[in-house]
Chain A
Amino acid sequence: MSDLASPRGPAGPRSVPPGGEAIDFVQLLTPDGARKRPAEYPLDVDADTLRGFYRDLVLLRRFDTEATALQRHGELGLWAPLLGQEAAQIGAGRALAPQDFAFPTFREHGLTWCRGVDPAQVLALFRGASLGGWDPAVHNLHLYSIVIGTQVLHAAGYAMGIQRDGHVGTGDPARDTAVLACFGDGATSQGDVNEAFVFASVFNLPVVFFCQNNQFAISEPNQRQSRIPLYRRASGFGFPGVRVDGNDVLAVYAVTRDALDRARRGEGPTFIEAYTYRMGAHTTSDDPSRYRPTGELEHWQQLDPIDRLVEYLLLTQTGDERYFAEIAAEADALGVRVREACRSIPNPLPESMFDHVHVEPHAQVDADRAWFRAYQSSFETAGGAA
């Protein structure tokens, strides 16, 4: 079937399940829970940090599955599940320094988790009760971007600001700041994203491009979007690219930490391709069984990000069944709390839509708000009995 590999035809249909071929990436923890120590990414983590990663992964997964269920309960308009991508997001999120600023997609629930955003604030957006959910300046986390790839340009712009404020390369660990730009494999085909690469490269910006390759741009497999592994595109723009096992929380943490350090030192951008898999639907409106090759999900379930950490914790005697049960109980409690919090999210007043148009008071907006308020109250006096 050499015609599939023809250099002139369109990128061929996928023949092998991803991961079925030998993928070359940075890995610190194999799917069996064996520890690898690549020289470029030294990582020593203590038992508490390890357990912290486990707790993050389990609670995040619970939050995510609970939110998916809440959509099916009719409590959310939509949800974008992250099932399978927990390690990629927790690894990257935990690598951030407090002063760093991150730009998420709408699936980065692991990032909101790491940045201290309350799960209910995340749900408010998907319930249609909020236009954003949290104050980006409080959490150093931009709002979820719905349009694919826009946030990557924003991140490059923010990094330019940091650079011009002189918060790069001073050697002061509390001052030097980096930007984390999150996006997916599909976004790498967007013009905006490539523009961001150009600017980041030319201005040597303190930004880390963190691409979660979850294998599908909604239904379009990654093999049909790129002829070369995504991380290799970075070299064409003039900065390093690295591929990491996205289901290995230790590897993602080590690689992202390294890239953020580099950015803070003023050595410029890095492209990270976290090679992972979206085990759930694109969103609750999607039916992945229509495009997912048979056997692929089962293959990736063998590579589950949580399972391998359980193995490692057991092997190193940093976690035992009692500890796992504790975390499971905490996850159950989180599930209940998320459910109740979701159901009690208040419906916003219609006029609250004027609240965030401008930071400063604005005469035109005030006039609009006053008119709208009068309009609303006109109904009450006129139509109470209708």
Chain B
Amino acid sequence: MLKEFRLPDAGEGLTEADIVSWRVRPGDTVAVNDVIVDIETAKSVVELPSPYAGVVVELLVAEGQTVPVGTPMIRIQTEAAVGADPDGGGRGNGSLPSGSGEPADSEGERTPMLVGYGPRVGAVSRRRRVEASAPAASAGEVSPQEVVAGLFRPMAKPPVRKLARDLGVDLNTVPPTGRGGVVTRQDVEAAAERAAAATVTADERVALRRETRVPVKGVRKLTAQAMVASAFSAPHVTEWVQVDVTRTVKLLHRLRRSPDFAGVRLTPLVMVARALLVAVRRHPQVNASWDEQAQEIVTKHYVNLGIAAATPRGLLVPVIPDADSLGLRELAQAISVLAKTARDGRTQPSEMSGGTITITNVGVFGVDGGTPILPPGQSAILAVGQVAERPWVHKGRVRPRQVTTLSLSFDHRIVDGELGSRVLADAAAILNDPGTALV
């Protein structure tokens, strides 16, 4: 017989979940407790095992969809008759607590499954089986669909409902503007107009297939909000400089061999971070933020260094708190831990807040420079380009040297061209000759 598996509440009191990925397709054979789908709830990603053995007939919800608890997700054709479990074995022996004195309704149709503790709007359930003369089939039980429908049934006056029906508008899709979330006549008419406008021709449909549309959510949404907030409130200026970092590269090689740095991942990024921290110490005003409300400039006497990282979840900027107080070894360790955590997708929100200045390492993608956008609330961000051998005039001759490009964007409300240039030139000078950091 055909069985449906409805989205259960995988936490306590969750009302919905995202369908992350299906592990089965129609036609696949599944056994009880085979994992069939990954869902993501507000709490975690959860694997759901199949309650039934049989053949998958249909997937009812698509990957990427957010569905309420209780929504049918999959149809499975089970091989055997009701109750006979295809994977064999013993019967339930029914030695159950008889606290209620009520007989188990084991007649063919079992009671509808739980759908969690979530809100049950329209809880008009009357479980009065005692009075029901016949062994009533699920008398008065509110089915999960009803619960879901009850949750989302749009509110509208009867004439408006009729209008919607006449115009072929699904009230569930109409954003209500009336008082208390009521769908008004105007809402329905507007929806009908939009629907007409959206009716596309065959040609347009072909064109549509040439594009993919992905809903903006999660990290992408946050990134977009941050970028827009920053780009259109802080006037950005970007400066850049090319620098011969051969001596830094040599220093890195030496340090890597030193027993003091055994087991530490030393990369050019670590040296750039160090150079920037020294430059900030010399020019603390660059490590500041603009307080629009108070009309004040807030100079930070600590450096929480953000490191932009491309992760499976998208762009994240985890922060090393008090990076200015760390030695080179601790800084290197902090960067490598932070990078690994970000790559594993395990960066917590608290680890991304409170940054005061940021580095973005675009060099790993094989490019030289760019005009980075400031993380909101920060006044400078440094982009590091690739370190590559370039012809360079060194001691009066053209030599192959290790060269990189540094690009510094700053908030021109706080940082003038002079200050920005000094910070950039200082960082570049340190990378060109690490010895100058001692000065």
Contacts and interface: CB of A to CB of B under 8 A. Distances in A.
Contacts of A285: 10-12, 43
Given A287-B43, A337-B90, A348 B126 contact: no
A380 B116 CA distance: 26
Given A346-B104, A383-B126, A121 B85 contact: no
Contacts of A355: 99
A339 B85 contact: yes
B180 interface: no
B87 interface: yes
Given A74-B9, A355-B99, A336 B87 contact: yes
Contacts of A118: 95-96
Interface stretch (A48-56, A125-133, A364-372): A125-133
Contacts of A77: 9, 12, 114, 116-117
B41 to A, nearest CB: 9
A130 B99 contact: yes
Given A73-B51, A77-B114, A344-B104, A120 B95 contact: yes
B213 to A, nearest CB: 30
Interface magnitude class on chain A: 35 or more
Interface residues of B, number: 55
Contacts of B105: 346
Contact of B49 (A69, A337, A347, A352): A69
Given A73-B49, A74-B114, A348-B99, A380 B91 contact: no
Given A290-B44, A349-B100, A337 B93 contact: yes
B23 interface: no
A60 B33 CA distance: 17
Contacts of B11: 284-285
Given A285-B11, A337-B92, A383-B124, A73 B113 contact: yes
B55 interface: no
Contact of B115 (A74, A130, A339, A377): A74
B126 to A, nearest CB: 5
Chain B interface secondary structure, helix, strand, loop or mixed?
A: loop
A333 interface: yes
B102 A347 contact: yes
B103 A346 contact: yes
A341 B91 CA distance: 8
B88 interface: yes
Contacts of B45: 287
A77 B110 CA distance: 17
18 contacts: A72-B10, A73-B113, A74-B114, A75-B51, A77-B12, A284-B11, A285-B12, A290-B348, A335-B89, A336-B89, A337-B89, A337-B92, A343-B111, A347-B111, A347-B127, A348-B100, A350-B127, A383-B124
Interface of B: 5-12, 32-33, 43-49, 51, 83, 85, 87-97, 99-106, 110-111, 113-117, 124, 126-128, 130-131, 344, 346, 348
Given A346-B102, A380-B131, 16 more contacts: A72-B8, A73-B49, A74-B7, A75-B113, A118-B96, A120-B92, A336-B88, A341-B92, A343-B110, A343-B111, A346-B100, A346-B104, A352-B99, A355-B99, A376-B128, A377-B131
